Structure 1
């Protein structure tokens, strides 16, 4: 790699106003975390761009890691020069000679952020195009589909040359939109919901309901492994494992079978909301997709939501299963989710759950049961694990959307 830095473009962050500094600070922090093993790098940021000075570090490894950082629209390996024309021409030619292969075509694309520079965009394109044609035999111009697009960015204090735009993951930096509690079941959907929430800047903590001996240690490990995959994207993630056996047994005993799933989901939501309150969260995130199962009809959601005023984020609400599976494969959670270890919802699922439950009926059934002490007990006995990122390298998902 023949570059000395990586130029990062903010994309959506550029639309922010007075609070843009907050978003940029979050992005810089997240990049530092992802690149924590590269001790020599320096990161510089201003309102328009961020630069990673490589200082001899492996730029190719850094590029692979940057592809997965939310808040980056695109980035380019680059070199920097001053604004003296001859120095610029020498730098451009030196870079081009190192990357150009015989028979490849090229074009010049100039962005003149510094409008006071004495040459305009067309003049710069002509000067540098002529310079390269003069010094590299058999080089040809192709302005429509060039093999190499030499990009020249003239800014106030320096000039940057690059030949590649690499798509980033887009979205907003994780942590810039507050914290949400992800109801993580162990299935295919909820990890994808967590991923998409992080893409919009939400810091997540996961909540899992565990019902031993009906659910095994392997089902618990499955959820830990899923949380680790999310941690590889966002940084350390807290996993709250809620003991749920006693509550589920009571529901099965006291609530009519066709309403037991509705009550189960209502109790899960109440417990998650209490954990959210204790951990300063602002929302609850679920993997619900409209109409996918009995608890995900509009009537069910209406009856279940009755227990909280907390915002509930449903990133998958309009997606079909194939779309969700595609994303789960891209973020490497699909195979883990497919492990044949049942969670508490699948173990206790009724034969004929109500698809259009009435809020008044479920309230009536629950009025005969004193759930509050059991909710407090479950919250008090919740096990919290801090899951750290495991892999230094992740598969790229910047081209998912």
Structure 2
């Protein structure tokens, strides 16, 4: 049986210049963590590619590939047959190795990448020679260089040659952990999990914070958000989840503040609490799932009033996205069904009938100033609980 391994190819990480080694080290660490559950692997890197060689024959490489498609920092993946750098060995191994994929095809083409320029044949010559051998071995095939059913790849690299079918698309982006750590304001809706996913794709390690207001919110609502955390772990890795008791604060907002400002004041206090939790968890920024103009609290004026209390950056990766785009991403990452479960979070508690759509900061500060929330904010921070959702 031919020796097989998995090739993982970089995307934008290949352009990182002098900092590239740092990104590669983080990606290698993330891959080792992901591969551990499947068995022992030997990992090497060269020429913008990571080579993952299984050290036992009972590892299901198709299952591993599916798992690795969620790893940020990888642009493309494939299973590949390892060959000596001779056309004789490449041809001898390619015919049986590609049997399953070629028997089900009608057309094919061969592409070659010759990273080792000392190899005696040039890329067009490699394609022509291997293509002729595959046509002899599988006479039902014909060549179609424009729209083939199967593209056979031959890569001539430093120490070996590799033969494989088409690459699988990777998750792209940057390795999680390469861009620092941030705290995601995670509601039970569709948007915030997608915001967390998008920031993780930029290399940000995600923690999450959620606010509960029993008896106005149920245990099911909290369980729903915890399930969302678990569903994000294939992309984001382990997630520290902070749960904040928020009932007392919301009741005080209702009692002391003008109704039309309930939502913006609530969000300002959430920001205050989140910053304190972020500092304890070494998070450098907050992440919110807002899309400009989507609801009353997401107008530019309302967002400005919310951000006025923030002393660290607030990232809003969905700010220019419409709902259709957000829903498509939620379906793709597997959070949509959970997000649409009918359990309300604290953002829907005491929702004003006629919220102020374009509040001024002066108006909001005056409305919030009718009560001193400092002690309640500190009490909520002290009462916050934490659990960690781990990559399964």
Decide: shared fold, TM above 0.5.
Answer: yes
Q: Structure 1 unaligned runs (5+)? A: 391-401
TM-score by length of 2: 0.94
- The residue that corresponds to 1:112 in the other structure is 114
Deviation at 1:214, TM superposition (A): 1.2
Q: 3-state SS of the aligned residue for 1:146?
A: coil
For residues 86-235 of structure 1, the aligned pairs below 5 Å read: 86-97=88-99, 99-101=101-103, 104-235=106-237
Instruction: State the distance in 1 between where 2:161 and 2:250 align.
Output: 64
- The residue that corresponds to 2:378 in the other structure is 376
CA contact (8 A) 2:243 2:384 kept: yes
TM-score by length of 1: 0.92
- The residue that corresponds to 1:394 in the other structure is none
- The residue that corresponds to 1:397 in the other structure is none
Deviation at 1:243, TM superposition (A): 0.8
CA contact (8 A) 2:208 2:239 kept: yes
Instruction: State the distance in 1 between where 2:137 and 2:184 align.
Output: 58
CA contact (8 A) 2:103 2:138 kept: no
Instruction: State the distance in 2 between where 1:310 and 1:3 align.
Output: 51
Q: Deviations over 1:133-163 (max 9, x none)?
A: 3444344322122232221111122111111
- The residue that corresponds to 2:46 in the other structure is 46
Structure 1 moving runs of 4+ over 6 Å: none
- The residue that corresponds to 1:393 in the other structure is none
1:238 pairs with 2:240: yes
Q: Deviations over 1:284-306 (max 9, x none)?
A: 00110110111100000111110
Q: From the superposition, tell whether residues 283 and 47 of structure 1 become closer, same or farther in structure 2 (CA, over 3 Å).
A: farther
Q: Structure 2 unaligned runs (5+)? A: none
Instruction: State the distance in 1 between where 2:236 and 2:313 align.
Output: 22
Q: Deviations over 1:204-229 (max 9, x none)?
A: 11110111111111111111111111
Q: Deviations over 1:112-136 (max 9, x none)?
A: 1112322211222222223333444
For residues 335-354 of structure 1, the aligned pairs below 5 Å read: 335-354=337-356
Q: 3-state SS of the aligned residue for 1:37?
A: helix
Count matched residues.
390
Instruction: State the distance in 2 between where 1:4 and 1:310 align.
Output: 48
CA contact (8 A) 1:4 1:78 kept: yes
CA contact (8 A) 2:263 2:297 kept: yes
- The residue that corresponds to 1:19 in the other structure is 19
Instruction: State the distance in 2 between where 1:257 and 1:140 align.
Output: 72
Instruction: State the distance in 1 between where 2:105 and 2:355 align.
Output: 66
- The residue that corresponds to 1:322 in the other structure is 324
